[in-house]
Amino acid sequence: MKPLFRFLPIAALITLNSCSDPGPREIVEVRELSGKEQEIVVADSPAERFRMPSQMSGGAASGGAGEAALPFVWTTPEGWERQLGAPMRDLSFTIGEAKEGECYLSRLPGAGGGLTANVNRWRGQMGAEPMTDEEIAALPKKPLFGLEGVFVDVTGEFSGMGAAGAKPNYRMLGIILTSEAGAVFVKMTGPAELVAANEANFDLFCQSLKPR
């Protein structure tokens, strides 16, 4: 399987030049990287992560020739409409006749704030109480890029970023995939009935995501 974004090299080389000697002196250290150091790197740099989504053309049924800026492909479920130019999102879709639902994918370098913080941030957006580390560890898992992500399912009053007020009877489905190398987030929100009707589409979209 092709790597998701890129893998770290198997060995690290360190080259030092001495300023005290008249000529250059080279010291080379070669070591094997640990398993964690060889994990998938989700974003090469903040510049890559925060590139303008408007530069990503295309977005028909699946990631293809027009999606060269993204290092993965996907299948867009029927009825989902691709939205370009959404800040801090690699992919963003509206759902429903009135576009009252949405689903997006976002990547962050590093741990992205950590699993517990992100789960409870999402729960807070739904007016739900935070969970303990033990409760979060017991949450179900769902596949994302061939790995196991933590699945979040919350119903309540949704207050997203920039919302004028809480929206009652909303539901959120999300998968969080974190490691020391990076984090991937997929989240769908909308009226509970609309989300229930698109639950299978959410699974379809997540399972379709694959590295190029």
Residue 39 near residue 179, CB atoms below 8 Å: yes
Task: Kindly state the average pLDDT of the residues 89-98.
Answer: 96
The CATH 3.40.1000.10 domain(s) of the chain lie at 46-211
pLDDT band per the 50, 70, 90 thresholds, residue 32:
low
Question: Does residue 24 surpass a pLDDT of 70?
Answer: no
When pLDDT is cut at 50, 70 and 90, the band that residue 17 belongs to is very low
> 185-204: per-residue pLDDT in tens?
999 999 999 999 999 999 99
The domain 46-211: what is its CATH number? 3.40.1000.10
Mean pLDDT, rounded, of the chain? 77
CA distance 26 to 48: 32
Q: What is the C-alpha to C-alpha distance for residues 131 and 152, in angstroms, rounded to an integer? A: 11
